[in-house]
Structure 1
Amino acid sequence: MARPSLQTERQQSIMAAFTRCISKLGLEAASLDEIAKEAGMQRSLVRHFAGNREDLVNQVADYIASEFEHIWQAQGHSHRDDPSDDWLLNVLFSPAPETQYQIMLPAFYALLSAAHRYPSVRVRMTQCFELYVADLSLKLQARHKQATTDDCQQVALGIINIYFAWDSLRGLELNSTLIGNNEKLIKRLLSSLN
């Protein structure tokens, strides 16, 4: 197997470093110097391989959205043979999501909150959200054949909205009653498709 190009390898390293910086410091405080330090390279190399600050922000939005989409699709794929809807609760409300997901989560929400300032970030984050809804809608249609496409799309939108709200609060120590009610709300939405 051929070794990836140095350009691609360095860009991936820079995006991973930028993601960690955003998660630790926030988007605005994640400077080129901080990114270079986190990536273990000189600032000039960061600029050479990834461009200016705006280029970096656009690239990291694509990197993070792509990673989240990959995780989502892999989770759905791993439960494709489960005819019940229990897989969805297990995937969405896992008490211990995988490490990469946990590292990227604060950066994902930082990008969402900054999307109004960066048109390309807004477009990419919108695509990511819409992919979640469309993909879940298709999965629901496959499991609930009697439900209409419109019903599946509405339930998918409701579930993804609940999930994003709950996920954004993951850093809080919510009591078990709130978590349980969240799951019951999802089950209520899903039962409307029967």
Structure 2
Amino acid sequence: MPRPSLKDQRSEEILDAYLTCVARFGLEGATQERIAAEAGVKRPLLRHYLGNRDQMIAALTQHVVDTFNASTSSLATALADAGNAEDIVAVLFADDAPNDPRLLLAWQGLSISASENPGMRADLLDSLERFLTVLSDTLNRIVPGANPARVRAVAQGISSSFVTLDSLSPLSPPAGWRQELKQAALLLARTLEGSA
């Protein structure tokens, strides 16, 4: 009886190592040597499991986008019961939220290199648009009649506060910054309450 293939499992492990390397060193700094060392495999196996450099970048982009989209779907489910601005902010900035800072850092690393890899641009923008749509839809439901342009601007502002947390993670910012960003998002969300 033949042994089961470990290709899918090994590919996921290598993609996870690639994600870590891009989060730490950027796309250009995520060399095959670093990825192989992080994954605990020999460098030639990277090509076996993920292909050449362009195929590796495409696989990582798809992995990041899929993971980001899954997180956005989970967020939409969590926000389904939100009844006010406090609920939205509580969900986004929960201390036990399963955020993986590597994901956003890799997303940023990929977006920086989108000019050299234009095929990834649409997928990255689409994943961000989905996130903004979830926030906008929730805000529209909570504050019916609010100006759509203001709702979108508030969603952008809340999103910016939210992603700043992960963007700053390599700096190990003071713990108080998390509370300040949470407060900023709450203040911004409350501006819609009097505008409807």
TM-score calculated relative to the size of structure 2 = 0.78
Amino acid across the alignment from 1:173: P
1:10 matched residue in structure 2: 10
Q: Quick one: structure 1 residues 70 and 53, their matched pair in 2 at CA, closer, same or farther if it must change by over 3 Å?
A: same
Check conservation: 2:72, 2:131, Cα contact below 8 A.
yes
For residues 158 and 183 of structure 1, what CA distance do their matches in structure 2 show?
7
For residues 31 and 49 of structure 2, what CA distance do their matches in structure 1 show?
15
2:159 matched residue in structure 1: 160
2:78 matched residue in structure 1: 78
What does the per-residue CA deviation read over 1:158-194, in whole Å, with 9 as the maximum and x for residues that have no partner?
Answer: 4324434554234433855853652354234432554
2:60 matched residue in structure 1: 60
RMSD of the TM alignment (CA)?
2.9
What does the per-residue CA deviation read over 1:138-159, in whole Å, with 9 as the maximum and x for residues that have no partner?
Answer: 2222323333555533432343
Amino acid across the alignment from 1:91: V
For residues 186 and 152 of structure 2, what CA distance do their matches in structure 1 show?
19
2:189 matched residue in structure 1: 187
Unaligned segments of structure 1, at least 5 residues: none
Q: Quick one: structure 1 residues 116 and 64, their matched pair in 2 at CA, closer, same or farther if it must change by over 3 Å?
A: same
2:146 matched residue in structure 1: 147
Task: Tell me by how many angstroms 1:6 deviates.
Answer: 3.5
Amino acid across the alignment from 2:114: A
Amino acid across the alignment from 2:101: Q
Q: Quick one: structure 1 residues 124 and 157, their matched pair in 2 at CA, closer, same or farther if it must change by over 3 Å?
A: same
For residues 182 and 152 of structure 2, what CA distance do their matches in structure 1 show?
24
1:45 matched residue in structure 2: 45
Amino acid across the alignment from 1:110: G
Task: Tell me by how many angstroms 1:16 deviates.
Answer: 0.6
Task: Tell me by how many angstroms 1:47 deviates.
Answer: 0.5
Check conservation: 2:89, 2:182, Cα contact below 8 A.
no
Q: Quick one: structure 1 residues 160 and 192, their matched pair in 2 at CA, closer, same or farther if it must change by over 3 Å?
A: farther
Aligned-partner SS, 1:146: coil
TM-score calculated relative to the size of structure 1 = 0.79
Check conservation: 2:154, 2:189, Cα contact below 8 A.
no
For residues 28 and 42 of structure 2, what CA distance do their matches in structure 1 show?
20
Q: Quick one: structure 1 residues 178 and 155, their matched pair in 2 at CA, closer, same or farther if it must change by over 3 Å?
A: closer
Check conservation: 1:17, 1:39, Cα contact below 8 A.
yes
Q: Quick one: structure 1 residues 35 and 44, their matched pair in 2 at CA, closer, same or farther if it must change by over 3 Å?
A: same
